[in-house]
Amino acid sequence: MNLLERDINKWKQSYLYGQKQRINRGMAFGKQMADGLEHEEASGDPVLDLLMARLPKFEIMDREFRTLLKNGKESIPILIKPDTMTLDMTGFKEYKTGQEPWTKKKVDDDNGPGGQIGFYATGIFLITGHIPPDIELVHVQTTKTNKDASDSPITATGEIFRHKTVRTMSQVINMMVRMKRAWTLIQKITAEELL
């Protein structure tokens, strides 16, 4: 949804035509961590492996949940995949890697970097009828191994920062509006591109 709102042409290339998005070193490092957590395997990076073992976790790890959002006579399919979640869906955590520190403002911003958290909270609301009260972004800080080289490898600093956040009913309603708007645009784009 974020890519669709940011750049329709890149969304088309990725989701309609299967072109892989280019990723930078930071994104590759984040994927390395996500893959290690999802498959419960060592990443090969001893610092990252130690940090992954220290990350706060709930009972459910990296599992997809599907639900529907009513939009008039049709239903919009919604897919969420929190990094970790409680069995009763009252709490979830999202893991992020990156050099830039996260702030409360960034975590709370549904229209910016914190939008994924708002999307997941809305999906959980659609499934359970309740907004999860226990939401947290967990930031694994990274750095370049050589700050002077633009092509320097990325590594974890060893620091983990935890940012509690909440989502309100107003934010959930706003996210549902965005979801409906995105679905309408997806239908329009696919009709134009594929028919």
Whole-number Å distance between alpha carbons of 179 and 176 = 5
Q: Which two tokens stand for residue 77?
A: 């399919």
Classify residue 173: in a domain, yes or no.
yes
- Answer yes or no: is 183 within a domain: yes
**In total, how many domains does the chain have?**
1
Q: What is the DSSP code string of 65-120? A: EEEEEEETTEEEEEEE--SEE-TTSSEEEEEEEESSPP-HHHHH-TTTTTHHHHHH
What is the model's pLDDT at position 70? 95
Q: Three-class SS of residue 139? A: strand
Asked if residue 112 is part of any domain, the answer here is: yes
**Does 2 map to a domain?**
no
CA 88 – CA 94 distance, rounded (Å): 17
**What pLDDT is attached to residue 33?**
82
Q: Is residue 56 part of a domain?
A: yes
Model pLDDT, residue 40? 80
Tens of pLDDT, residue by residue, the chain (195 residues):
888 998 999 999 988 888 887 777 777 778 878 887 877 888 777 888 888 888 999 999 999 999 999 998 999 999 999 999 999 999 999 999 888 889 889 999 888 877 999 999 999 999 999 999 999 999 988 888 777 666 777 888 888 999 999 999 999 999 999 999 999 999 999 988 876
Is residue 109 domain-resident? yes
pLDDT of res. 149: 67
Residue 54: domain span: 24-194
If 0-12 CB within 10 Å is exposed, 13-18 middle and 19+ buried, where does residue 77 land?
A: exposed
Q: Does 143 fall in a domain?
A: yes
Please report whether residue 67 resides in a domain: yes
Label residue 98 left, alpha or beta by phi (over 0 means left) and psi (-120 to 50 means alpha). Answer: left
Q: What is the pLDDT of residue 91?
A: 97
